[in-house]
Structure 1
Amino acid sequence: MSDPLLRFRDRFPILETTTYLVSNSLGAMPRSVADRLAEYAHEWATRGVRAWAERWWEMPISVGDEIAPLIGAGAAEVAMVPNVSLAQAQVLSALDYSSPRDTIVMTALDFPSVRYVYDELATRLGARIVVVPSDDGVGVSEERLIEAIDERTRLVAISHVLFRSAYVMDVARIAARAHAMGALVSLDAYHSVGVLPVDVEALGADFLTGGVLKWLCGGPGGCFLWVRPEVGETIAPALTGWQAHRHPFAFEPEMEYADAAWRWLGGTPVIPALFAATEGPRILRDVGIDDVRAKSIRQTSRLIALADARGYSVTAPRDSARRGGTVAFDVPHAREVALALLASDVIVDYRPGAGIRVAPHFYTSDEEIEAAVELIDDILAHERWRRYADTVHVVS
């Protein structure tokens, strides 16, 4: 069948030499990013400190404006931050957890880095954390989650798409319950923005965090934080820095927060990451997120069918409306098989409890999906996984 989205393949150099099925972890680099990074180096080399006034200082907000259309936000509402752990910590630091609203509700399947922040920081701020468990390791009972939200709840901190299984949470339903109980909602949308339509208003989020690292193909160090304007007017993060000051170059001894998204910035921004971060979101806007989602559903459905035909254990949701962009399936010797795939330039990843994660994106061809699964067959049939049995990788 004809696939109009494949016309974008030539914008991504790595697709010339690999089958790239890991955009859920690190999106392919757009060819034009090299030009943007060269532009940064040229500005630093030729403009020096003047570059701050000429555009660098504004970039955490101007780059946020590139993200805003992809989440349904307005201009100057999105702040760029170095990582989501920091963004979630800023949200935590802005709230009061004194009794009676002393509770944060989370799930057992939220990304560990975010869980670490809440476990370590929230409790030191006086918050009580309620973790809603999972019965199957794939999803979380939304009924149980809703029951956990009550008059003591200050914040509901959940993921839009669960990282291990790609299960899509019914955020709007959960947010409606939270707001009815007087609580706020912090949504980690790292695994949804760029592969699912995301609209902060429709979802009912009060805070949304994410990053360009994965589906947005923007590289490391470019994460973002959106705060509902009417919420942001009433609070400010204790975890802050000089770029959030109303008069930063006055170097005043006391904090006076800037307005809107500026108050959620921190210290000096990571400018090279911001130069790299813009190209991927621009391409995604050109492609069209509805077309990206339709193709993702089709290709992940095919992956599930291929895994089922071989008897592999699929840990992704069967209902396409509840499935993000990744299919995880467990095969014998899955870790070693994943390493053998990498050695063959078929780029996937492995996660304990899930198996091999395969994440096609808008630039993936149907033939690549078929060939990747056939290569798994070959690796198992010829026991090529054995050569990786004793291999230890710090990064997987």
Structure 2
Amino acid sequence: MTHPFSSYRKLFPILENTIQLSSCSQSALSLPVKRAIDDYLDIWTRRGADWGYWMDQVALARAEFARMIHADANDIAVLGSVSDAASAIASALHFDGERQAIVTGSLDFPSICHVWLAQQPRGAQVRFVQAQPGASDTTDKVVRAIDGHTALVSVSHACFYEGQIVDIAATGRAAREHGAVQFVDAYQSAGSLAIDVRAQQVDILAAGAQKYLLGIPGIAFLYVRPELAQRLTPSVTGWFGRVNPFEFNPAKLDFADGAARFNTGTPPMMCASVARAAIGLINEIGVPAIEDYLGDLSAVALEEAPRLGLEVVSPKTPGAKGANTAIRIPNASEVEARMLQSGYVVSARNDVIRVAPHFYNTAEDVVGALRELARLTR
């Protein structure tokens, strides 16, 4: 298979000796990201503090994320994690009327589900849609679970466990038809699946920078549809959620317009420097091109794994899943460590090994990892 992004492989030094296929957990370190870290440390060393530089990096990171999902930068808040983003959104919802239900999925990432469960003392009733690993009907199940009592629909665009994709346009449409709002966890899709929040009519979407966005943990971006943002008042807040954070008035609680009202404390400056460089690299290539290529690598994995006697847990159709191909391995954590000794970085979750390439990987990388998995588990 031709590698359309072969010229970018030199930007990822680890690939000289080790094959990193763990983008569902942590992508490979790129030279632009390393330079961003070095620049931040250099400025910190020479200047001691440079608030203007820090805030510029936050603004640039926010702009890069907005560009990637076809949003306006003013519609993006910057927080520390997707859990923080979900908590801020939850704090702005009310569950004391007829709309008390939160619809979410049994295969969604536990951290997000825990945020919704924590709203039960406030009157929320959490309904779990029973999603099956490898299935392609989760979208339909979510749509059927939404009714006039639903306040919030929470979906993972791509599942962390085995990569199955939810049609966020369809679930969002069903939510709107019943007067509910939708929260999209895009941590496993942003940077690998094309997202257009305007075309897909997304209400709320959050993603962190650590995985397919090529960055590090410690920063997350929260998109809130402008008209919706103005109707929501979070109780999870901080000084950057104010109209003028630098007024320094402890007795005045005013909320900024739009998504900025969901900002909390001082934003993660160094993580923003990294995210600016990392997402900038993604935008340079273009997510649609990356998605197409990762679809080709998925097809390679889905063809090779059964041939080697490996059990694929992910959906068997490339278009039904993201870049992650999950292989059933009972002792997954042990095998993950042994794979690293063999020169392959993969990611274990419970009883699966996730082989999750990015645009810098090749078909040979994927096939080699699967063959080594087969050898180690034979």
Query: Given the two structures, how large is their TM-score scaled by the length of structure 2?
Result: 0.94
Amino acid aligned to 1:5: F
Matched, 1:167 2:164: yes
Q: Deviation of residue 159 (structure 1)?
A: 0.8
Check the 8 A contact 2:308/2:371 in 1, yes or no.
Answer: no
User: Deviation string for 1:338-394 (max 9, x for gaps)?
Assistant: 2211112200011224x211011110022222222222233245xxxxxxxxxxxxx
Distance 1:137 1:372, change over 3 A: closer
1:221 Cα offset (Å): 1.1
Of 326, 343, 346, the match for 1:345: 343
State how far apart, in whole Å, the 1-side matches of 2:152 and 2:376 are. Answer: 47
User: SS at 1:32's partner residue?
Assistant: helix
Sequence identity, in percent? 32
CA distance in 1, matches of 2:319, 2:205: 21
Aligned-pair CA distance for 1:139 = 5.3
Question: Contact (CA 8 Å) 1:62, 1:76: kept in 2 or not?
Answer: no
Q: 1 CA distance for matches of 2:148 and 2:62?
A: 34
In the TM superposition, residue 140 of structure 1 has moved relative to its aligned partner by 5.3
Give the SS at the match of 1:201.
Answer: coil
CA change 1:331–1:103 in 2 (3 A) is: closer
For residue 20 of structure 2, what is the aligned residue in structure 1?
20
Note the C-alpha offset of 1:32: 2.1
Contact 2:184–2:204 under 8 Å retained in 1: yes
| Residues 64, 283 of structure 2: 8 Å contact kept | no
Where does residue 236 of structure 2 map in the other structure?
239
Partner deviation per Cα, 1:196-219 (whole Å, 9 max, x = no partner): 111112322211000110001011
Shift of 1:333: 4.6
Contact 1:63 1:80 in 2 (8 A): no
Q: Is the 8 A contact 1:61 1:78 kept in 2?
A: no
Give, in whole Å, the separation in 2 of the partners of 1:116 and 1:139.
25
**Alignment counterpart, residue 178 of structure 1, candidates 165, 175, 178:** 175
CA distance, structure 2, for counterparts of residue 310 and residue 98 of structure 1: 54
Name 2:186's counterpart in structure 1: 189
Deviation at 1:58, TM superposition (A): 5.1
Aligned to 1:10: 10
Deviation digits for residues 153-211 of structure 1 (CA, Å, limit 9, x no counterpart): 11111111111110001111111111011111110011111111111123222110001
Aligned with residue 364 of structure 2, among 363, 367, 375: 367
Q: Which amino acid aligns with 1:316?
A: S
Offset at residue 141 of structure 1 (A): 3.4
Inter-CA distance 363–137: structure 2 relative to 1 (3 Å threshold): closer
The Cα shift of 1:10 comes to 0.8
How far the C-alpha of 1:11 sits from its partner, in A, is: 0.9
For 1:386, the equivalent position in structure 2 comes to none
Q: Is the contact between residue 157 and residue 187 of structure 1 (CA under 8 Å) also seen in structure 2?
A: yes
Partner of 2:75: 77
The Cα shift of 1:324 comes to 0.4
Count of residue correspondences? 377
Cα-to-partner distance string for 1:241-280 (whole Å, 9 max, x where unaligned): 0011112222221211112232111111221111111111
Matches within 5 A, 1:1-396: 1-49=1-49, 51-52=50-51, 54-57=52-55, 59-120=57-118, 122-136=119-133, 138=135, 141-252=138-249, 253-331=251-329, 333-353=331-351, 355-381=352-378
* AA aligned opposite 1:292: I
TM-superposed CA distance for 1:329, in Å, is 1.2
RMSD value, Cα: 1.8
- Match of 2:73, SS state, is coil
Change (3 A) 1:378 1:150: closer
Comparing 179-188 with 317-326, greater Cα deviation is found at: 317-326
Structure-2 residue corresponding to 1:393: none
Amino acid paired to 1:247: N
Contact 1:160 1:188 in 2 (8 A): yes
The higher-RCO structure (CA 8 Å, 6+ apart) is: 2
Aligned residue for 2:34, secondary structure, equals helix
| Amino acid of the structure 2 residue aligned with 1:256 | D
Extract unaligned runs of 5+ from structure 2: none
* Alpha-carbon distance change, 178 to 380 in structure 1, aligned in 2, over 3 angstroms: closer
Unaligned runs of 5+ in 1: 382-396
Tell me the alpha carbon deviations over residues 57-114 of structure 1, each in whole angstroms, 9 at most, x when there is no partner. 3543431111112111113221221100000101111112221111111111110111
> Aligned AA for 2:23?
S
Residues 160 and 250 of structure 1, relative CA distance in 2, 3 Å threshold: same
Asked if the contact 2:134–2:315 (Cα under 8 Å) also holds between the matched residues in 1, the reply is: no
Distance (Å, rounded) in 1 between the aligned partners of 2:68 and 2:148: 33
How far the C-alpha of 1:323 sits from its partner, in A, is 0.9
Secondary structure, counterpart of 1:202 in structure 2: coil
Change (3 A) 1:37 1:240: same
Q: Which amino acid aligns with 1:60?
A: V
Instruction: Point out the more displaced range, 76-85 or 224-233.
Output: 76-85
Q: 1:140 to 1:203 in 2, by over 3 A?
A: same
Contact 1:138 1:164 in 2 (8 A): no
Structure-1 separation of matches of 2:208 and 2:5: 23
